[in-house]
Structure formats: structure tokens, C-alpha cells
Amino acid sequence: MAITRETVLHVARLARLELEGDEVERLQRDLGKILGYMEQLAELPTEGVVETAHVAAERAPLREDALIPSLEHDLALAEAPRRGGGSFAVPAFVDE
Amino acid sequence: METALDLPVAELAAAVRKGDVSATELARGALERIRAKSSLDAFLHVSEEPVLKAAADLDRRRAKGETLGALAGVPIAIKDALCTTDAPTTCASRILTRRGADGRPGNAAAGWRPPYDATAVARLRAADALLVGKTNMDEFAMGSSGENSAFGPAKNPLDPTRTPGGSSSGSAVAVAGGMSSASLGSDTGGSIRQPAAFCGIVGIKPSYGRVSRYGLVAFASSLDQIGPFARDVRSAARVLQAIAGADPRDSTAAPLAVGDYAAACERDVRPLRIGLPEEYFAEGLDPEVAERVRTAVSRLEREGCAVRPVKLPHTRYGVATYYVVATAEASSNLARFDGVRFGLRVEPERGNLNAMYGATREAGFGAEVKRRILLGTYVLSAGYYDAYYRKAQQARTLIRRDFDEAFRDVDVIATPTAPMPAFRLGEKIDDPLAMYLADIYTLPASLAGIAGLTLPCGHTSARADRPALPVGLQLLAPAFAEEKLLTVAAAVERLCRS
């Protein structure tokens, strides 16, 4: 199955992945081969078959509705690459 | 040299409780073996200080007359996908490390320090096990050979030019190499069963929901399950006993009673009916692997078990189905690695938040992880969702129904664990599809959420191009029927040794 360069770049943009150098060509080749293999699913008749999204969904219990302590503020921030004002700090996300 | 470290788990813990051997002695012995076998790269982090301190605490408590837990003093290694408060957790990925002074992503020592223990880890601590360190793995558990580790692959102790299997590669090596009595791994599509088979040990993939996933770094949430490795069936059963059961922190951990796994190992195997699925003995299976598996099953038959053929007709769609479902879930789960709250951050000199995300993820993820994120994003994207993701979810239903149908006639299904014994490092790494196809026998059980176990059932014969290598027998049982698996496995273990 042929995957275009544009498709790889489009999907990479959706996944917030920058690709460098020859990565795009390699992924074009790999994705084409793997998606080509997955196409065999098309031959399988599945009309009216319900989907399995999760094998446990029908028996998930509810937790007791009780207050329990959550992660301490400082501990939650302890591994942040950058923090400021008691928060996680990020680069500007509104273009000036 | 054989020491107390080589005892089965229950005997070792009993010796510690009685005071025949001290926890400190065992911790030192395990650390010594880990050092001596460091060339196998089983560990990303060795918890030297914490384990010696925990051992000293155990010895003190025993001296005071306290009764110690079921795994007292048992050295256990933990896959680096499970959160541990006393050791870094990296998932063998650079994205869970801090940047070094040179601006490049760090090594495993600069790994993320989780603020909590995974539930399975906390339960091992509560049973007084000694947690010796964090084991090597394929990055984010994505791989079947260990070669996708960002920190270099673990090696098979039986032949260091070969893969120990993956993704829980280091957990299998630690146990097979005698560095720990048991270990924890995680199995999403075979990541406990296949490395256990390649290293000649026992591995259990519990039913989905048997063990809490709280604190397991998520790869594919509807498939991931934590389970034990050990050198014998009874030892694996003891470790499963300690970690199994409901957990208010994981709503998918089933609120069902946990069986008596030690007792299950001693039960009579004869009333159990064994199924052989012809689809698992098809083209592509190494003839010697097929022969060893059939021999093990015929020993069960001679013992008195009914053996009959079963049909699992959708087996051939397992690989395609799995790699759609697993990559879709992975692309969503791995969105959390964004450089904001933990781990690596790469900020381009100019650029906004999106540029930081892109640069961080480019520098932090390895080739296979990127490949799977892109595949998963593709099968979920507009225009492809119905043809791939929806279709795979329907195929997953058909694969589940195959098992439901088969388990009407038999109690346990027996198959090869992998189509071949341990292959060479480098042999498949440039062909991702060939690597995926090596998982063909373990994927369907993961998709169906049923219980699986592998144990050694013999070796291939030595030949010019490969030494004698262990062959794994895979046993499958309905969801939450781990006890039946253990009864059959303990019988096979006895029959294959005698």
C-alpha cells in the first residue's frame, strides 16, 4: 500500500511529532508495508458484529464516594522540567 | 554456585521466616549476582541502598519476633514500566529522563522519579519481598526482542548473541540468570509469555482485570496486564497470589475473589480437558517447537487428560487486529508525554507550545515508538477510522467468540508460545512487520482478555547454527480461570522433568 509523504507529515502533525532527516521516507515505507498487511481485515465479513472496545467495560465497579487525600502540590510539581508560581510553566501558546 | 537464592519462592520465604537465612544475606547475594552478570544488561537501575535497608528492616523485625510476609526476603526485579518511589522509572525511554548538562536527553540514572508505587509493587513490599531493581525492556513495552530499549538491549543468558524476547526482556533475564527469584513484567500482546519462553522460564499473563494496572505506564489500556516470571510454576503462583485482586485505584481491576493459587498447583489434572487448536500448528512454525509442544500434550493425555482438537478460525486476523487496536490506544496514551509535567523537555529557541511538544517528542521517542504513534494516529484519523479501527474492534469480537466457543468443550488450550526459539539480536530489527508476526500465538489471548501462562517443555536440538534452546508451551484458560492454568502447568512441569 502506497503512503504519500504528505500523509506521513499530516499524521505526524496530528500526533505532535516533528520528524527529522530521512525519518519521513523510512516511515513512508514502514507504514505502507504494515497498513498493507492490515488490509486483510477488509476481507473479513463483520456486518452486524458488535465492536469490542474493552473486555472489562461491563463489570467496572464504582469507587466509594469518599474523600481521600490527593497528591501533595509540591510533590506533583517535583519532576516538572520548568515551574513558576506554583504551576507547571510552558512556552507562550498564543501567537503575538 | 547454588545457594539459598536458587530455592523456589515459598521455600526461600519460609527459610527467612524461620531465620535459617537472613534477608541481608539474600539481598547481598542477589546484588552480587547482578554485578557479576551486568554484561547481560538485564537492569536499568539496581536499588542497592534501598534493598539493603529493606533487608536490614526485615531482619530486625524478625529478631523482634514479628511474623514476616508471604514473600519475606525474596529478591524480585521490577520491569521499568512500573512506578517505584525508591527507583527511577523510565520505560527504557529518553522521554522519561531529564536533560544532561550537554542539553541531550539523559540516561536511565536521570530517570523520572514517580511520586507513588504501582499497586502491584506496593503489594510486593507489603508481602516483605526485596525489590532489587528495575529491568530493561523495549521502549514503552513496544517490541518483541528488547532491542527497542533506548539504553541498549538485554541479552539472552543462554546465548548472549540472541534476544531474550520482549518487551519484558530484562525481567526474563533477571530470573533466568538467577539474579532474582522472580520478577514482574507486563504483557500487552505477549510481552511476558514470549520472553519467558525464549529464556526457558515460567511467565503468567493473568486475565485482564486480575491484577491492578495502577502505576503501570500505559501502552494499550484495554490489553495491558501485569504478571510474574519465575523459574518454576509454584513460585510464579505465589507471586501472582501476592499481586492479584481488586483495587479502588483501578476500576478495571475486577472485584472478584482471588483463588488459592498454591493449592491449584497440587490439584489432580486428570479431570481437565485439553484443547489443541490446529490454527496454531500451521505454516511458519519451527518443526522442533511443534514436536516438543505435542509431546508435552501427549504426556498429559497419558496421564489421563482428555485431549481434543478445537477450532479458533479467526486466529489469522490476530496480528492485524492487535496492531490496529494497540497502536490506536498507544497513540492516545502517549499523548501525555508532552514535556510539561515530567521527564524531558526540548524547547526550540523560537517557537510556541506546539514547537516544544514536537521537539520534545522528536528527541524523546525512539523509532518504533514513533512508528506506532503514527500508525495509531492514522487508523483513528478521519476517513480511516471505519476501515481500520472499527473493523479491528469487530474482528476482536470474533476472536473472543472463537475462545468462548472452544472453552465449551475444553478447560485449557495448549499451543506453542512462539513460532520459533530465541532468534538472533539484529535478525528482525530492520523489518517491523516480521517482528510483529513473531507474536502471532500470544496476541489472540490478549485481545480476548483471557488467562495465559508459558512454561518450558523441552529444548530444540543443538545444531551448527544454533545451540539447544528452550521451547515454551502456552496454556490458555477462560478469564479468571488462572487456577486451571496452574493445575495443568504444574502437571506438565512434573511430566517434562521425569
Q: What is the pLDDT of residues B76-109, one digit of tens each?
A: 999 999 999 999 999 999 999 988 766 677 777 7
Please answer whether residues B146 and B424 qualify as being in contact, where contact means their C-beta atoms are separated by less than 8 angstroms.
no
Please answer whether residues B43 and B34 qualify as being in contact, where contact means their C-beta atoms are separated by less than 8 angstroms.
yes
Note the pLDDT tens digit of each residue in B190-217: 999 999 999 999 999 999 999 999 999 9
Note the pLDDT tens digit of each residue in B25-49: 999 999 999 999 999 999 999 999 9
Instruction: Please report the residues numbered 7 through 66 in chain B whose beta carbons come closer than 8 angstroms to any beta carbon of chain A.
Output: none
Q: Domains in chain A: how many in total?
A: 1
On the question of pLDDT at B163 being above 70, the answer is: yes
Share of chain B above pLDDT 90, in %: 92
Q: Tell me the chain B residues in contact with residue A64 when contact means C-beta distances shorter than 8 Å.
A: 248
Tell whether A51 is within 8 A of chain B (Cβ): yes
CATH number at residue A20: 1.10.20
Tell whether A24 is within 8 A of chain B (Cβ): no
Tell me what the mean pLDDT of segment B299-309 comes to: 98
Tell whether A1 is within 8 A of chain B (Cβ): no
Angle of helix A23-38 relative to helix A5-14, nearest 10 degrees? 90
Joined grid coordinates for residue B76 = 524480585
Q: Tell me the chain A residues in contact with residue B390 when contact means C-beta distances shorter than 8 Å.
A: 51
Q: Where are the domains of chain B?
A: 4-322+389-497
Please answer whether residues B72 and B16 qualify as being in contact, where contact means their C-beta atoms are separated by less than 8 angstroms.
yes
Confidence class for position A55, pLDDT limits 50, 70, 90: confident
Q: Which residues pair with B202 in a beta bridge?
A: B230
Tell me what the mean pLDDT of segment B457-464 comes to: 95
CB-count exposure of residue B393 (10 Å: 0-12, 13-18, 19+): buried
Please answer whether residues B76 and B182 qualify as being in contact, where contact means their C-beta atoms are separated by less than 8 angstroms.
yes
Interface contact flag, B340 A64, Cβ < 8 Å: no
- What is the structure's pLDDT at B107? 78
Tell whether A16 is within 8 A of chain B (Cβ): yes
Confidence class for position A64, pLDDT limits 50, 70, 90: confident
Q: Which of B81, B79, B89 is nearest to B171 (CA)?
A: B79
Confidence class for position A58, pLDDT limits 50, 70, 90: low
Does some domain include residue A81? no
Q: Which residue has the higher pLDDT, A60 or B19?
A: B19
B315: which residues sit within 8 A by CB, 6+ positions away?
B277, B279, B280, B399, B402, B440, B444
Q: Tell me the chain B residues in contact with residue A63 when contact means C-beta distances shorter than 8 Å.
A: 248, 251
Tell whether B350 is within 8 A of chain A (Cβ): no
On the question of pLDDT at B341 being above 90, the answer is: yes
Complex ipTM more than 0.90, yes or no: yes
Which of A6, A41, A43 is the best residue to mutate to test the B interface, defined by the most B CB atoms within 10 Å of its own CB?
A: A41
B375, closest residue in chain A (CA to CA): A31
Out of B370, B387, B393, the one facing A17 most closely (by C-beta) is B370
Tell whether A11 is within 8 A of chain B (Cβ): yes
Note the pLDDT tens digit of each residue in B405-433: 999 999 999 999 999 999 999 999 999 99
Q: Tell me the chain A residues in contact with residue B116 when contact means C-beta distances shorter than 8 Å.
A: 71
Confidence class for position B498, pLDDT limits 50, 70, 90: low
On the question of pLDDT at A8 being above 90, the answer is: yes
Please answer whether residues B76 and B12 qualify as being in contact, where contact means their C-beta atoms are separated by less than 8 angstroms.
no
Instruction: Please report the residues numbered 309 through 338 in chain B whose beta carbons come closer than 8 angstroms to any beta carbon of chain A.
Output: 314, 316-317, 319-321, 323-324, 331, 335, 338
Q: What distance lies between CA B133 and its chain's CA centroid?
A: 16
- What is the structure's pLDDT at B101? 65
Q: Which positions of B are annotated as active-site residues?
A: 79, 167, 191
Tell whether B394 is within 8 A of chain A (Cβ): yes
Confidence class for position A18, pLDDT limits 50, 70, 90: very high
Out of B99, B324, B361, the one facing A16 most closely (by C-beta) is B361
Read off the DSSP letter of residue B302.
Answer: H
Confidence class for position A95, pLDDT limits 50, 70, 90: low
Name the least confident of A70-84, B55-69, B215-229.
Answer: A70-84
CA end-to-end span of chain A: 42
Joined grid coordinates for residue B373 = 504513534
- What is the structure's pLDDT at B417? 98
The CB-side HSE value for B224 (13 A sphere, CA atoms) comes to 26
- What is the structure's pLDDT at B419? 97
Interface contact flag, B116 A61, Cβ < 8 Å: no
A32, closest residue in chain B (CA to CA): B375
- CATH class of this structure's domain B4-322+389-497: alpha beta
- What is the structure's pLDDT at B369? 98
Q: Where are the alpha helices (DSSP H) in B37-87?
A: 48-63
The mean pLDDT value of chain B amounts to 96
Q: Which domain holds residue A35?
A: 5-43
Interface contact flag, B432 A30, Cβ < 8 Å: yes
Out of A60, A75, A90, the one facing B353 most closely (by C-beta) is A90
Angle of helix B9-18 relative to helix B48-63, nearest 10 degrees? 50
Cis check for the bond before B171: say yes or no (omega within 30 of 0).
Answer: no
Which pTM was predicted?
0.97
On the question of pLDDT at A96 being above 60, the answer is: no
- What is the structure's pLDDT at A45? 96
Does some domain include residue A27? yes
On the question of pLDDT at B456 being above 80, the answer is: yes
Tell whether B100 is within 8 A of chain A (Cβ): no
- What is the structure's pLDDT at B108? 73
A3, closest residue in chain B (CA to CA): B378
**B382 Cα to chain A: minimum distance (Å):** 11
Does some domain include residue A21? yes
A18, closest residue in chain B (CA to CA): B358
Q: Which residues pair with B82 in a beta bridge?
A: B216
Interface contact flag, B396 A16, Cβ < 8 Å: no
